[in-house]
Amino acid sequence: MVKKSKNLIVVKSNEFVEASYKITLDEMRVLLLTIGSINSKSEDHRRDFEFTVAEFAERFDTDEKSAYKQVQKAIDMLGSRWALVESTAKYDRKVT
């Protein structure tokens, strides 16, 4: 079992920060919770990531009933958006 840290550390590029102005707060929270679960030192390049509504509610200080609706709406909205991941020499990947 992987030990989960209380601290969620995410390093964001300028492009990611600029793109964040085009999405809702809950969409950003879903992305950050997902990105925060990635171990950048791992060789495992999995494509599926999981978190529970309880984790979302605890991390962002909201009740689970509201969190379920927030997460569902955010995931639906993110599903209709596009992201392009490009390899770069400086960061290895670029999100635009």
Per-residue pLDDT 10s for the chain (96 aa) are 445 556 766 667 777 777 777 889 999 999 888 887 776 677 776 677 788 999 999 999 999 999 999 999 999 999 888 776 665 655 555 454
Which phi and psi (to 5°) does residue 71 adopt? -65, -45
- The pLDDT value given to residue 85: 64
Using a pLDDT cut of 90, give the percent of the chain over it.
33
Print the domain residue range for 66: 14-36+51-95
Query: What CATH number corresponds to the domain at position 79?
Result: 1.10.10
Domain count, the chain: 1
Q: Please check whether residue 43 lies inside any domain of the structure.
A: no
Q: Considering the domain boundaries, does residue 81 fall inside one? A: yes
Q: How far apart are CA 24 and CA 1, in angstroms?
A: 32
**What is the model's pLDDT at position 36?**
79
Distance CA 30, CA 28 (A): 5
- Length in residues, the chain: 96
Assess if residue 74 is contained within a domain.
yes
pLDDT at 32: 86
Structural domain contains residue 5:
no
Asked whether residue 42 is domain-assigned, the answer is no
Average pLDDT, the chain: 78
Whether 69 maps to a domain, the answer reads yes
CA distances from 84 to 33, 53, 66, 71, 90 (A): 19, 27, 31, 23, 17
